[in-house]
Amino acid sequence: MPVSRPWTVVSPLLVVALVGSASARGEDLMQIYREAQQNDPTLAAAQSTWVATQEKVPQARAGLLPNVSVTGAANYNAYDLHVNGGELAGSFSRDFRFGQLTVSASQPLFRYANRIQYDQAKQQVEQSDFSLVAAQQDLILRVANAYFAVLLAEFSVDLVVSQKAAVAENLAQAKRNFEVGVATITDTNDAQAKYDAIIAQEIQARNDLDNKRVALRAIIGRMPRELKKLGPGFEPILPSPNNLDFWIDKSQIENVNVRIAQYNYEIAALNVETQKAGHYPTLDLVGSYNTQASNQSINYGVPSNSQLGVVGVQLTIPIYTGGFVSSKVREAIALQDQARSNLEATKRTALFNAQTGFTGVNSAAASVKANEQAVKSAQVAYDSTKTGLEVGVRTNLDVLNTQQNVYQARQTLAQSYFNYLIGILQLKAAVGTLTDEDLEDINRRLRG
């Protein structure tokens, strides 16, 4: 049972944190994703691998089908004989043309290794489908992470710019108060220190934004333009069903990497049988037809031609190969054990991802609620401190500190919502159900 759609309502405070102003012509999440599908080199490599793997079946099937070949030759012969002495002394010359055509065919009747290799090829093709799905799910996660990382970095820049303006105003007020004698130089110094710190934060925030945009560029092949931001109408909801065992059990069966590892084990098991087949006899139906013709020959001065047809069976029984086959069997068994261990390790990783994904979504949803309240509380504290400053019971430093708390709370709220969205996608990936529709659900809530 897939998780219910988790993006349906956001609080007004979160809209303040994440929406901001954006052009109606801004690029949305699906536009970025579709472009990534066309330009991402990692996905392109996975698609090429999938196409190449499809050829495994016809290649293996060829080992079960007839093999027919034709060979031909056409020769011009110049024969000269010189005998010196005796009764046969003299010279003899004869030039003639000779041609032949041979058609050979064979049909495997019993080749156990070929049959097993055909089964292996079918398994490899089926596995390639899941490998491609894994690459597609990875692209969804990479695009979503990069897209929201840019939005979060943009918000951080907007936040620090707003904070800088507020601190600058506070600094100017502190300077005026000092000049008229209603404040000490300490207030001015505190405000100046805060302002200088904000300048450093702005530089760091803008550098981080540049890095996040470059990371998105690495996926789509160009620098992104202005991105659409999250619109109103979201509220995080819990996974459905909200039961950890359900998600863990699902991950052990439907996780894409688990399925790939399961195919690896089955292919390795078949490879053991393939190597054992080196001890088995082979039986083929064989046939050939040969025709030859010449206008003369060395011994005869008249044209000749001949035909020969052969049909039969060919049995090959391996007796001794120097221990090569036995060594290959032992190697295949060891590789099968390796595949079994890798399968178990993959299942444990899937279990871990499902558990951390499930608890992460629940934790992120709770964090969103808690941080919404934290923003409200920080704003109330800031308003109260400003009032306290006006009546003389609070200092300018108190105002700056509570103001910093407001901006920090908004930053934390934005990060918690980002964590929630990515957590939902990661949880779906852990159980193998992540698709384009999950991005479309988010995309429908973006606004220009």
Range of the domain at 30: 12-68+110-280+324-447
**391 falls within a domain:** yes
- Residue 90's DSSP bridge partners are 83
As a whole number, mean pLDDT of residues 4-28 equals 45
The chain-wide mean pLDDT, for the chain, equals 87
Task: Tell me, yes or no, whether 4 lies in a domain.
Answer: no
pLDDT at 234: 66
For residue 394, tell me if it sits in a domain: yes
* Residue-by-residue DSSP string for 247-280: HHHHHHHH-HHHHHHHHHHHHHHHHHHHHHGGGS
**Residue 84, in any domain of the structure:** no
- Residue 326 has a pLDDT of 96
Statement: residue 1 has pLDDT above 70: no
| Average pLDDT score over residue span 126-132 | 97
Q: What is the pLDDT of residue 418?
A: 86
Please check whether residue 315 lies inside any domain of the structure. Answer: no
Is pLDDT of 159 > 60? yes
Share of the chain above pLDDT 90, in %: 58
Count each helix (H run) and each strand (E run) in the chain, helices first: 11, 6
Average pLDDT over residues 225-237: 79
Q: What is the pLDDT of residue 435?
A: 94
| Local confidence band at 10 (pLDDT 50, 70, 90 cut-offs) | very low
Mean pLDDT of 250-274: 96
Write the CATH number for 346: 1.20.1600.10
Rounded to an integer, the average pLDDT of 386-396 is 77
Q: Is residue 368 part of a domain?
A: yes
pLDDT bracket for residue 101 (50, 70, 90): very high
One-letter amino acid at 17 equals A
Range with the poorest average pLDDT among 50-59, 228-237, 306-315, 380-389:
228-237
Assign 28 to helix, strand or coil: coil
pLDDT tens digit sequence for 271-326: 999 999 999 999 999 999 999 998 877 777 778 889 999 999 999 999 999 999 99
Find the mean pLDDT for residues 147-157. 93
3-class DSSP assignment, residue 283: strand
Q: Indicate whether 95 belongs to any domain.
A: no
> What would the two tokens of residue 155 be?
């918000």
User: How far is it, in rounded angstroms, from Cα 404 to Cα 393?
Assistant: 19
> What is the per-residue pLDDT for 40?
94
**Local structure of residue 378 (DSSP, 8 states):** H
Query: Which tokens in the block code for residue 443?
Result: 């995309």
Rounded CA separation 432/440 (Å): 17
Average pLDDT over residues 34-63: 96
| The predicted structure's pLDDT at residue 13 | 40
Name the residue with tokens 């052009």: 23
User: What is the percentage of the chain residues whose pLDDT exceeds 70?
Assistant: 92
Quote the crossing angle between the two packed helices 396-430 and 324-391, to the nearest 10°: 150
How many whole angstroms separate alpha carbon 202 and alpha carbon 371?
Answer: 23
User: Nearest Cα to 136, choosing from 221, 36, 217?
Assistant: 36
Query: Is residue 248's pLDDT more than 60?
Result: yes
Is residue 78 in some structural domain?
A: no
Going from the C-alpha of 68 to that of each of 45, 60, 64, 289, 311, the distances in angstroms are 36, 17, 13, 11, 13
pLDDT at 238 over 80: yes
Instruction: List all residues 6 or more positions away from 209 whose beta carbon is below 8 Å from its beta carbon.
Output: 150, 153, 154, 156, 157
Alpha-carbon span 358 to 72, nearest angstrom: 70
Instruction: Report the distance separating Cα 227 and Cα 208, nearest Å.
Output: 16
Q: Is 415 left (phi over 0), alpha (psi -120 to 50) or beta?
A: alpha
Tell me 24's DSSP state: T
Tokens 């220190």 belong to 193
Instruction: Give residue 25's pLDDT.
Output: 62
Say which residue, 77 or 283, is predicted with more confidence: 283
Which residues in 352-364 are b (16+ Cβ under 10 Å) and which e? ebbbebbebbbeb
- Residue that wins the pLDDT comparison between 444 and 1: 444
The band of 183, judged by pLDDT with boundaries at 50, 70 and 90, is: low
CA-closest candidate to residue 307, choices 289, 319, 280, 333 = 289
Angle at 181 between CA 176 and CA 182, to 5 degrees: 80
Predicted pLDDT of residue 233: 60
Say if residues 262 and 351 touch (Cβ distance below 8 Å).
no
